[in-house]
């Protein structure tokens, strides 16, 4: 089968489409015939060597949407032919989801949304779980105020939706051209990129990784949630600083799927690319103005 891999770190041109063996599920695992797979910023980071692994052939891809093809021993509740979504956690792995088949732990998958196709569903796992954990870490009661930076991005946009659904009063920080978009996602107020937030907020989800600049918008004793481990600013003024790290969690993913099917969570896809054009997707990922997930189709 074919899979997108990288053996030499560097630009999109280092990405290869290689012939690899079809994986077999071990006990407690399922094999998925991949129909669509999201291309995330973390894939670009893996490609350039941020997470190490020099000298290895590293498989790319974390998000997957497709159907179960084979179940391993001891797996219950899943059978061949079921549409699923899942998260293949881990930056340095021999095979990712940018492949014709992928094997995941059964606990990492959820039934795919019934109301969207595989392309849209592939935009959910990594971004949805990241945004949901960030909003949960805020620990704020309904009516509290929260600033979401990078609110027009995929993770930021999902965080806006989930925070608003939780009853939080959301201010979105994004480019001036994105005001209508973020308000449509549930933001009650808007701050253009580079602008100042007038009133301190109870919490911030820093999807744009602004660090100290985002922390400065939080009131004394509030909460800052960063999305990249080990990248948060130092705590000050009694502010609680949290860093989320996503995990493969089929049960939590299933709850997000239910929100998609209820029309309470909108998934955004910007462009699709064939697996053979994965390098083009990586090049596009590095360009400005991408509003929605890039997705490989198989």
Distance, in Å, from the CA atom of 46 to the CA atom of 10, rounded to the nearest integer, reads: 10
193 and 113 in a common domain: no
14 and 90 in a common domain: yes
Distance, in Å, from the CA atom of 233 to the CA atom of 212, rounded to the nearest integer, reads: 6
Domain count, the chain: 2
Q: Model-level pTM?
A: 0.95
170 and 114 in a common domain: no
* 33 CB-near residues (< 8 Å, 6+ apart): 66, 67, 68, 69, 100, 101
Residue ranges of the alpha helices (H) in 207-277? 212-215, 250-261
228 and 141 in a common domain: yes
For residue 261, tell me if it sits in a domain: no
Q: Residue 203: give the domain boundaries.
A: 127-243
pLDDT in tens, 98-149: 999 999 999 999 999 999 999 999 999 999 999 999 999 999 999 999 999 9
142 and 90 in a common domain: no
pLDDT in tens, 78-101: 999 999 999 999 999 999 999 999
Tell me the DSSP string of 86-137.
EE---SS-S--SSBSEEEEEGGGEEEPPSSS-HHHHTTSHHHHHHHHHHHHH
Q: What is the token pair recorded at 101? A: 């088949």
C-alpha neighbours within 13 Å on the C-beta side of residue 113: 27
pLDDT in tens, 154-173: 999 999 999 999 999 999 99
**Is residue 271 pLDDT above 90, yes or no?**
yes
For residue 231, tell me if it sits in a domain: yes
**Is residue 198 pLDDT above 80, yes or no?**
no
**Terminal-to-terminal C-alpha distance of the chain:** 11
For residue 252, tell me if it sits in a domain: no
User: What Rg value do the Cα atoms of the chain yield, rounded?
Assistant: 19
**Is residue 193 pLDDT above 90, yes or no?**
no
In whole angstroms, what separates CA 167 from the centre of its chain? 22
89 and 110 in a common domain: yes
For residue 254, tell me if it sits in a domain: no
Mean pLDDT of the chain: 96
Distance, in Å, from the CA atom of 30 to the CA atom of 80, rounded to the nearest integer, reads: 9
12 and 70 in a common domain: yes
How, if at all, do strands 29-39 and 101-105 pair?
antiparallel
For residue 262, tell me if it sits in a domain: no
153 and 198 in a common domain: yes
């Amino acid at each position: 089968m074919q899979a997108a891999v990288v053996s030499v770190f560097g630009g999109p041109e280092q990405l290869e489409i290689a012939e690899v063996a079809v994986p077999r599920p071990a006990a407690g695992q399922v094999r998925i015939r991949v129909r669509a797979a999201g291309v995330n910023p973390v894939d670009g980071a893996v490609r350039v060597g941020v997470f190490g692994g020099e000298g290895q052939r590293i498989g790319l891809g974390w998000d997957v949407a497709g159907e179960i093809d084979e179940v391993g021993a001891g797996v219950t509740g899943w059978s061949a032919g079921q549409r699923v979504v899942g998260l293949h956690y881990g930056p340095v792995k021999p095979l990712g989801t940018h492949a014709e088949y992928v094997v995941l732990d059964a606990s990492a998958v959820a039934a795919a949304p019934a109301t969207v196709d595989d392309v849209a569903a592939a935009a959910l796992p990594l971004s949805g779980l990241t945004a949901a954990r960030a909003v949960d870490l805020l620990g704020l009661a309904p009516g509290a105020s929260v600033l979401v930076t990078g609110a027009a991005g995929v993770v930021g946009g999902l965080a806006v939706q989930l925070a608003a659904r939780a009853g939080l009063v959301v201010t979105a920080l994004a480019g001036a051209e994105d005001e209508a978009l973020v308000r449509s996602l549930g933001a009650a107020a808007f701050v253009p990129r580079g602008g100042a937030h007038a009133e301190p907020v109870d919490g911030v989800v820093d999807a744009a990784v602004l660090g100290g600049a985002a922390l400065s918008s939080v009131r004394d004793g509030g909460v800052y949630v960063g999305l990249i481990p080990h990248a948060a600013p130092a705590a000050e003024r009694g502010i609680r600083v949290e860093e989320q790290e996503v995990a493969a969690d089929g049960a939590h993913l299933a709850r997000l799927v239910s929100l998609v099917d209820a029309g309470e969570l909108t998934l955004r896809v910007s462009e699709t690319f064939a697996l053979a054009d994965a390098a083009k997707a990586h090049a596009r990922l590095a360009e400005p103005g991408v509003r929605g997930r890039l997705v490989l189709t198989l």
